[in-house]
Every structure is written in structure tokens, then in C-alpha cells.
């Protein structure tokens, strides 16, 4: 049993790099997902995850499978979609969720079109689903750098970010940090989607950001507790996904996200803060 858990990482360098990259993403993406969930912006995270695709595709067309070009293109495209959706929503003709849906569909179609026309099916699969087992040293440095910047920035804006989640009107009335906090947070979302894209692809990167975060809500109420549990869930899911992928020769990225999904389904059933099992249990008289 111990050999099955340790041997893949002890014997193969690509498994060790995949483990380091997955754990780095697991440290920084789930906290971002917690705040997306608390701010009711979960669908925005999904939309922005797909929005980076055309930028990554343009980077691919200009420089091939260049880490720098695809990352820079994805970052620029994600920010452009976030800003454009916000500007359209301010016109009050349509709401922000509808404008995000429009940009999300346009970005996804454009990205797939660009890669399909000028690349191969292998290139398209690499962009959409990533290749965590093919992470090299440059990709690991990028992921680790983004994780370090994200965690440091989150620590700096933690208090206004939490306050904005629960009482944004009060934050606007007592501080000028409301708008800067929102903009900084959007940049962190895009940065972490770019980091996740390197390992899990554009379609799977948002999964490790949101599924552990949503799962944690069924167990704890505090923001700090949700962040800690979400990171732990992402850690365990990453290791489990890598091991299952190695031993059974199945795709790694989807397996990691499925592991997150298994814990999400378990939390929906057994979570102590609103799980189906606890809701069915009889309660005492006048108990909330």
C-alpha cells in the first residue's frame, strides 16, 4: 500500500513535477474560489476561465507552445473580458451575468476556432485540457510565482475583501478600498486561471478553484475555515488524481477534478452545515 502511494513520486521526475505544480495551484486557487463563492461570482469564474482561451490561442499562433506567449495572451484576454463585461453591465441594458455569458460563449468559440484552424487536434486538447504530467521547470516557476504573488496579495487585502463579501455598502461608506479591492481581486482570478491553465487546461482550471471552495461551505461557516478546508480538499484531490492516473492510465487533469467532485457530492450529502443527511435528521423543538 505504501509503495503504491510513494513509488510513482520517488521513481519518476515528471510525477514529482506534476505533484509540485498541482500542490502550488491547490494553495492559491481554492482561496480565490472561496471569495468568488461568497461574492456570488462563481459563474463569473467559469466565464473568465473560458475567456483566456482566445488569448492563449493567439499566443500559440504567434509563438507556438511558448509558455510566456500563451500565458501573457491568456492574461490579457481574461482581463479584457472582465472589464468589457463590467462596462456592458453598467449600461443597465443587460445584467452582468448575461454580459459575461455572451463574452464567455464568444471567447470559447473564438479560441477553439483559432486553435482548430491553425493547429492540430493534439494542440487543441493540450489547450483545453492541459497536461499536468508534462510540466517543465519553466511552467513550475510560473505557477509557483503566481501562487506566491496571489497569497501575498490576498493577505494584504484580506480584511476589505471579507468585508466586501458580507457588507459591501458599509465598506464603500467607510473606506476607499472597495473599488481597488474588486479590481485587484479580478486580477488575482485571472492570474490563477492562467496558472491552472498550464496544468489543467482552460476547461478544467476553474474546477480546482471552485469545487473545493463550494465543498467547504457544507462543513464550516467562517471565511478562514472555508479557505483552510478548501486548500486541504484540493491537496488531497490532486494527490489522489495523480495516483489514480498513474496506476490506471487515465487522463490526469479530469481525474483531479473528478476527485474534487467526489468530495463535493459527499459534502452535499454528509456536510454538517446543510448536508442532505443532517437536514433529514429530527431537530429539537424551536431549533433553527
Residue 164 to residues 4, 32, 86, 183, 269, Cα–Cα distance (Å):
45, 14, 17, 12, 30
Distance, CA of 45 to CA of 207 (rounded, Å) = 10
Its CATH class, for the domain covering 2-280, is mainly alpha
pLDDT of 120 reads 63
Mean pLDDT, residues 233-248:
93
Mean pLDDT, residues 172-198:
84
* pLDDT(101) > 80: no
Distance, CA of 79 to CA of 73 (rounded, Å) = 10
pLDDT of 126 reads 65
pLDDT of 232 reads 96
Ranges of each domain in the chain: 2-280
Q: What is the number of other CB atoms lying within 10 angstroms of the CB of residue 91?
A: 8
- pLDDT tens profile 75-88: 888 888 777 766 66
- pLDDT tens profile 272-284: 888 888 777 766 6
Backbone angles phi, psi at 8, to 5 degrees: -60, -40
Of 20-24, 100-104, 184-188, 217-221, where does mean pLDDT reach its minimum?
100-104
Query: If you compute the radius of gyration of the chain from its CA atoms, what whole number of angstroms results?
Result: 20
Distance, CA of 126 to CA of 132 (rounded, Å) = 10
pLDDT of 148 reads 94
**Cα of 24 vs its chain's centroid, Å:** 12
Contact 18, 76 (CB under 8 A): no
pLDDT of 125 reads 65
Distance, CA of 5 to CA of 146 (rounded, Å) = 28
* pLDDT(229) > 90: yes
Selection from 116-130, 185-199, 257-271 with the highest mean pLDDT = 257-271
pLDDT of 97 reads 65
Contact 203, 184 (CB under 8 A): no
Amino acid at each position: 500500500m505504501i509503495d503504491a502511494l510513494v513509488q510513482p513520486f520517488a521513481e519518476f521526475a515528471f510525477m514529482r513535477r506534476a505533484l509540485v505544480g498541482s500542490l502550488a495551484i491547490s494553495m492559491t486557487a481554492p482561496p480565490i474560489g472561496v471569495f468568488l463563492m461568497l461574492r456570488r461570482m462563481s459563474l463569473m469564474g467559469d466565464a473568465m476561465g473560458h475567456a483566456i482561451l482566445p488569448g492563449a490561442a493567439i499566443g500559440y499562433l504567434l509563438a507556438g507552445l511558448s509558455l510566456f506567449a500563451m500565458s501573457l495572451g491568456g492574461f490579457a484576454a481574461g482581463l479584457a473580458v472582465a472589464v468589457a463585461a463590467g462596462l456592458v453591465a453598467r449600461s443597465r441594458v443587460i445584467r452582468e451575468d448575461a454580459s459575461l455569458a455572451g463574452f464567455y460563449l464568444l471567447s470559447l468559440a473564438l479560441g477553439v476556432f483559432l486553435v482548430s484552424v491553425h493547429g492540430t487536434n493534439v494542440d487543441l486538447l493540450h489547450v483545453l485540457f492541459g497536461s499536468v504530467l508534462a510540466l517543465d521547470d519553466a511552467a513550475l516557476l510560473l505557477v509557483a510565482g503566481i501562487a506566491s504573488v496571489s497569497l501575498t496579495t490576498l493577505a494584504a487585502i484580506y480584511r476589505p475583501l471579507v468585508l466586501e463579501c458580507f457588507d459591501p455598502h458599509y465598506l464603500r461608506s467607510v473606506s476607499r478600498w472597495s473599488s481597488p479591492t474588486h479590481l485587484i481581486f479580478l486580477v488575482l482570478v485571472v492570474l490563477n486561471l492562467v496558472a491552472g491553465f498550464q496544468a489543467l487546461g482552460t476547461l478544467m482550471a476553474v474546477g480546482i478553484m471552485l469545487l473545493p471552495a463550494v465543498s467547504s461551505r457544507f462543513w464550516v461557516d467562517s471565511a478562514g475555515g472555508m479557505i483552510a478546508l478548501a486548500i486541504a480538499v484540493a491537496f488531497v484531490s490532486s494527490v489522489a488524481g495523480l495516483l489514480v492516473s498513474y496506476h490506471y492510465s487515465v487522463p490526469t487533469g479530469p481525474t483531479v477534478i473528478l476527485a474534487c467532485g467526489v468530495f463535493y457530492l459527499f459534502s452535499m450529502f454528509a456536510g454538517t452545515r446543510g448536508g442532505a443527511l443532517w437536514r433529514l435528521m429530527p431537530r429539537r423543538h424551536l431549533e433553527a
